[in-house]
Structures are given as C-alpha cells and as structure tokens.
Structure 1
C-alpha cells in the first residue's frame, strides 16, 4: 500500500436504498431501517449486500422480505407518524448526543487549556511584580550611590521585558475570554 493511499475497507460503507415511487411510505421507511440495521450490525452476508446495493429497495421480493422481517417496525413507524412530534424528538436526541460527544472530546482539552492559561497568567503577574520590585531597588541603589555604576542598560532590558510581559498578559487575557465565551456557548447549547 502506498503512503498516500488509504485502505477504507475497515470503515462502514454507506447504505444506499433506492425506493420505488409506487411503494408506500411505511414500506420505504421499514426497508431503510432494515437496511441500516443489517448493514451496520454486520448481520447481512456479502451476497445480500451486493443484491440490495445494486437493485436497491425497488425489488418486490426484498420489500416483502423486509416486511416479513420487521412487522413491528412498520407499526412503530406508523404510530410515530401519527404522533407528529417524533422527528423533532429524534432530532433533539441526536443533537443532545452530538453535543455530549463533542463535550466529552473537547471538554478535557478546553479545561486543560483553561488551567494552563490561568497558571501562565498567574506566573506572568508574579514575574511582573518581581521586575517592578527589582526596578525600584535598582533606582534606590542608583540614587544612594555616589558614582552610579553602568546599570542603565540592565534597567532598559528590564523595562523592555516588562512591556513584553504586559503584552503577553494582554494576549492571555484575550485567549481566556475566548475560552470563557466558548464554555458559555457550549453550556447554552446543551440546555
């Protein structure tokens, strides 16, 4: 196998069902449900996959087999269709499961990022205070000494470092605000 070619045989293949316009809505939904169940559950052998994917659900024998295999599915689908709200309930369930899955995947990463950002901001603030304290001590030392040593370049470096720390703090604050907004939006969508 080449580096750029990937073997997709291990992945589930899409289910293709081509309904006949003459079939009723119940038989179509039963055929689709049966095709999805058997294909994804691995309960169908290769000869049936080839038959159903090439001929689709238009063959009366397949439709009759589907009706025989799942008579309860037809009754369930008709009772759900009369209930009226099943599509919206399924969509809510799907949306909820998708949101839960995304949260379970991204939640720990976002929390770790949040923790790291908070710890970096805290250490940056402590470093800024230490630099300010050192600058004050250096200025006192310069004022008290008779002949000041050449510390001006060091003071300038400290001032430059302080500016960089302040810029980094600003960036970290912006990132923290974005993470907080993401948390808020995710919580809002879950409700």
Structure 2
C-alpha cells in the first residue's frame, strides 16, 4: 500500500508499506537556496529522514524503517511530512573563532555519536585545547540536536543567533561545558 502527502515546506512525501517495513521517500524542487531536511510525521511524533540530496532537478531522500520503530517514535501511521531549510547557502559566514565543518571527518569515540552528527549535517566547529566543540542552531520549534547529549548541551548566542554547544575531548568523548568544569556557572550562555 502506498500513501502520498504534500510536504510542508514544498514537495511530496510517499510512504510504501512492505510487510513489516516502510519505505519513505521525500522529494522537493531544488531551489538552490541550501540544504533541506525531511521528516515523516505521525500523530505522536516525527522521524528525521535525513538531508535531501540532489537527483536531477529535485532534492530527494529515501529511507526504510521498521514499522515497530516508527510506532515507537509516534510516526506510524503517517499523517504527513515536512521539509525544512537546515542550511542556507546565502548565509554561510561563520561567527568569529568558528568555522564550518563536516562532522563525518571528525573523531567521535562512539559510532552512535558519529551517526547522529553526520545526520545533523554541517556544524560550526572550533578547537578547544586538545578537543573540540560543535555548535548547532537551536529553536524550540525544531527537534533537539544530539538528544543523546541533552544534559551536556551549553546554550550560547553566536552573532545574534541561538546555538547549542557540545564539547568533546581529544579522543571524541563528550565532556561537560566549561562553566561546570570550572565549578561555576556565572559565564553560562556566553560563547
């Protein structure tokens, strides 16, 4: 059985049930504005499909999920989907002291963190001593980046935008934000 939905943000989402699996495809026109992420939405939640990649004149992403996984995440049965601009090609200047990096080239101690970072896409990066920090844009209306590291997120404002900072040591293990490593919290929220 195949269902079709109009994607919020433009495009089409198709969901094809194949036994105990669902093949989900999101497609939208390639407007050249930047990178888009697509989500499958259900009554109780949503699932990130991933970053849409160019295929001809369109942007597409295709993923296969078990129906059990989609049910656990509240996305089955499907109710629709959305595509969001996650990185603008026209607004790509990094804040001072940071530069853009592809997390696939970074060292993470756990494969789960590497997979999560790659799925999130390009991030702001800076060296910190022997380790590094990553910064991801933050909005209360969007899924939390790196939910595995929720308790280690440091809110910050960079060039007037909200970000969440995640700190890693030299071997790629996540570490506490600097204010807590120093035993105080008076600098909390400043980057």
TM class by shorter chain equals under 0.3
> Normalising by the residue count of structure 1, what TM-score does the alignment of the two structures yield?
0.22
Structure whose alpha-carbon radius of gyration is higher: 1
Greater RCO structure (CA 8 Å; 6+ sep): 1
> Normalising by the residue count of structure 2, what TM-score does the alignment of the two structures yield?
0.22
| Structure with the higher fraction of residues in strand conformation | 2
| Structure with the higher fraction of residues in helix conformation | 1
